[in-house]
Structure 1
Amino acid sequence: MNSNIVVLDPDIAFGKPVLADYGVRTDTVADAYRTEKSKKTVASLYDIPVSAVEAAIRYERLAA
């Protein structure tokens, strides 16, 4: 797994954490997972791999 999968860059999403290769905010992915209860469904919704969903969830849990 890419160690830089989550990035904070002031030029991207106003510095909010995003999945580097996909440009999707981690809080958006984590919120979708809380709603959908399925990593596979969230991955499909955002056209990202399940591993990226897991990284976003993990990041948000650690940041909380």
Structure 2
Amino acid sequence: YEQLVQQPKIIVIDPSIAFGKPVLVGTGIPTAVIHERFKGGEPIASIAYDYNRDSEEIEQALRYEQAAA
């Protein structure tokens, strides 16, 4: 948990966005959706391309989901 707090604000939880589910800041893309796509076998680069995001942002979303599990 402490590691998540120290990371840059790439993930946001806001009740007015996606009903308070964690999303990539400024996008509304739920981290859970990114995680499910990755678990389904999609490469990080492909997910990043689809959402027009950096691979690092996708990796941060995956780390968030793994830590929250």
Match of 1:20 in 2: 25
- Give me the whole-angstrom Cα distance separating, in 2, the residues matched to 1:3 and 1:37: 25
What letter is aligned with 2:63?
R
- Give me the whole-angstrom Cα distance separating, in 1, the residues matched to 2:28 and 2:54: 13
Classify the secondary structure of the residue corresponding to 1:24. Answer: coil
Deviation string, structure 1 residues 13-64 (Cα, Å, up to 9, x no partner): 0000000032200000111111134100111122211011101100000000
Structure 2 gaps of 5+ residues are 1-6
Among residues 9, 16, 30, which one is paired with 2:14 in the alignment?
9
1:1-64 matches, cutoff 5 A:
3-64=8-69
Q: TM-score, normalised by structure 2?
A: 0.82
Runs (4+) of structure 1 exceeding 2 A deviation are: none
Q: Which one has the largest radius of gyration? A: 2
What fraction of aligned residue pairs are identical, expressed as a percent? 37
- Give me the whole-angstrom Cα distance separating, in 2, the residues matched to 1:54 and 1:21: 16
The CA RMSD over aligned residues, in Å, is: 1.3
**Alignment size in residue pairs:** 63
Q: TM-score, normalised by structure 1?
A: 0.88
Structure 1 gaps of 5+ residues are none
What letter is aligned with 1:54?
E
